[in-house]
Amino acid sequence: MIALTAKTLYTPLERVESPLLLLEDQHIVEVASQAAQAVPTGARVVDFGDAVLAPGYLDIHIHGGAGHDVMEADHAGLSAVEHLIAKHGVTGYFPTTVTAPVDQILSALERLATAIENRSQQNSGDGSLLAAPLGIHLEGPFISHARPGVHPPGDLLLPTIALFERFWQAARGNIRMMTIAPELDGALEVIAEAAKRGVCVSMGHSDADLEATRAGLAAGARHATHTFNAMRPLHHREPGIVGEVLTNPQLTADLIADGVHLHPSIVQLVLGAKGKENAVLITDAISATGMPDGRYPLGPFVVEVKDGKALYNGHLAGSILTLDVAVRNVMRFAHWDLQQALRAATLNPAGVAGLAGRGRLQAGARADLVVLSPCGDVRNTIIGGIVN
């Protein structure tokens, strides 16, 4: 048994001062205070001093990092991504596809499914600091020609049950999230079918008006992808998809809080509208994350990274954001405290994506956590109870 001590612990719903966190067999045994619980005899004690203990971060929208894209064939590339994001506090993530020819998407889904299943079967940990792939986020090809971002227009497709079934079979049921434009012909049928299978259907890359957005919600969509980005702009007489995202308390939404995709004041607006329960932080990070300026892959095309921006033909193409920076940016942009900001990177994405036993420090949960400085800098990441 391992006993962790620190100055503060955020579950993140509760704050525990002078905590005692007991870990055994990859899981949390007990969350207590040192005043209420003695260290069990024989336990290995690890004291993190003035640090904060929090659940490991969960990134449900990420395309790559460390020079590698999650759709590439090299298995070692996925490990490089996982090692990089683990150093930034991420313990679990959804590798996210981009629009490409169907055969390329199918091949990528098969490889990612294998990576997810292999990690699940191993599950014992070998001491490596690697974030775990927990499911696949299918972003494209069911998105709007009017709001494709940098997704290749020639590979965008209208949604059909038959094509969704091909993706589902290739992924062997590991698609946990799907971004779709609800206004497309056939979208409502695919939304309903995906939702029936437990997929978190997220509306994004969409030119939907208010009526089409609400039709998507009625069909089973329940989340929004990178709010404001690749969406019909908000208009005071035609609120569209953004208006619904900002005003519907049943609709959860994610955002890229890098200060590039959204002005800090808009980050504050989205977080204020969605509240601490319904806001989710994502990175939308690409292969260039953690790398110097240069040219890097994003699915089937190459992106130019310079001065903190990833661009393709002059358009933003994902980010080079890490989730720990997003948490700290929320503290600066929206004046949230660390406990509030943590929720948007832990408990909220776990709830949105249906990741039971993750995103919260409690007895029985998997021992995935991040050790932070009081201002949110990552000092250590613990995955599966392995303390390095």
387 three-class SS:
coil
Torsional sign, CA 106, 108, 113, 118: positive
236 three-class SS:
coil
- Active-site residue, 47 included: no
- The CA–CA distances, whole Å, from 142 to 27, 31, 147, 219, 245 equal 38, 43, 11, 16, 20
Catalytic one of 155, 207, 284, 368: 284
Cα 239 → chain centroid: 27
Alpha helix segments (H runs only) across the chain = 75-87, 102-122, 161-170, 187-196, 210-219, 240-247, 264-278, 323-333, 338-343, 347-353
Q: What is the C-alpha end-to-end distance of the chain, expressed in Å?
A: 15
Distance CA 109, CA 105 (A): 6
Q: Which residue type does 332 have?
A: R
DSSP assigned state of 237 = S
Distance CA 109, CA 168 (A): 9
Active site residues: 284
